[in-house]
Amino acid sequence: MGHISENILSLRQELPSGVELVAVSKFKSEEEIMEAYGAGQRVFGESRPQELKEKAESMPKDIEWHFIGHLQSNKIKMTVPYVKLIHSVDSPKLFNEISSWCDRNGYSVDVLLELHIASEESKQGFSEEEVSDFLKGMQEAPAHVRIRGVMGMASLTDDEAVVRREFAHLNSVFDRIAALRLPYLDRFDLKSFGMTNDYRIAVEMGSNMVRIGTRIFGPRGVRI
Ligand SMILES: *Cc1c(COP(=O)(O)O)cnc(C)c1O
């Protein structure tokens, strides 16, 4: 058995039931992805529309693709047809564009709202206030886009206490949104927190969906 399938199997052993593993396959070859597939993995995450499209068109149809990267409006049409879930809806504008594209073209998609935490330099994503204003301001349920939960990243730091605090915060934002009991959030249940370096802490703090690349496929950009 190769390293990739061993890694998949050991992650499955390690992750509590109820935590979905998204195998992040960006920059990885179809051959590498097929090794994970052979170990039973069906959910894969990609971050570039063109790469996603090519893989989705040529790989087995029972793969569930997730989009996890920054999505530009002009790439919506190249992405939505291939994915079950977009993790990275980071503005009302992007949400509305996805929603109207789906209405016009007869597609449906699930999305997560990407949260940014105060201490991060990156301004990508919703603050808690923005997300709650956005949701409360929604006039009606979007016909073809279902908001399934939130995605968030902790700071890149070795300080475990900081990471722990940030995931706790993201988790509490999720709880407060869920507590709004908005009618169009009837399946608001996903918390996509945690990657190779911090998924253990993320899961401890309440994540139920982890996005893991390096721990499965090895470092990106290194040919083995
Ligand atoms: C690349 C990427 C990951 C996976 O990162 P690893 O450290 O390789 O596990 C997870 N989430 C997002 C948004 C990414 O872009």
Question: What is the pLDDT at residue 221?
Answer: 75
Task: Provide the pLDDT confidence category of residue 139 given band limits of 50, 70 and 90.
Answer: confident
CB contact set of 199 (below 8 Å; sequence gap of 6+)? 207, 210, 212, 215
C-alpha to C-alpha distance for 218 and 165, rounded to whole angstroms: 28
Q: How far is the CA of 21 from the centre of ligand 1 (A)?
A: 12
Question: What is the pLDDT at residue 1?
Answer: 72
Whether the per-residue pLDDT at 191 is higher than 90: the answer is: yes
The continuous run of DSSP H or E covering 4 comes out as: helix 3-14
Is the C-beta atom of 48 inside 6 A of ligand 1? no
Residue 105, number of CB atoms within 10 A of its CB: 12
Task: Provide the pLDDT confidence category of residue 21 given band limits of 50, 70 and 90.
Answer: very high
Whether the per-residue pLDDT at 29 is higher than 90: the answer is: yes
Residue among 113, 109, 60, 59 nearest 83 (CA)? 109
C-alpha to C-alpha distance for 49 and 58, rounded to whole angstroms: 14
CA distance between the termini of the chain: 16
Ligand 1 atom at minimum distance from 88 CA: 13
Q: Which of 195, 198, 209 to mutate to test the pocket of ligand 1 (most atoms within 8 A of CB)?
A: 195
pLDDT tens column, 31-68: 999 999 999 999 999 999 999 999 999 999 999 999 99
The continuous run of DSSP H or E covering 150 comes out as: strand 145-152
Question: What is the pLDDT at residue 120?
Answer: 60
Whether the per-residue pLDDT at 222 is higher than 60: the answer is: no
In the chain, the domains with their CATH numbers are: 3-216 (3.20.20.10)
> How large is the average pLDDT for residues 160-171?
97
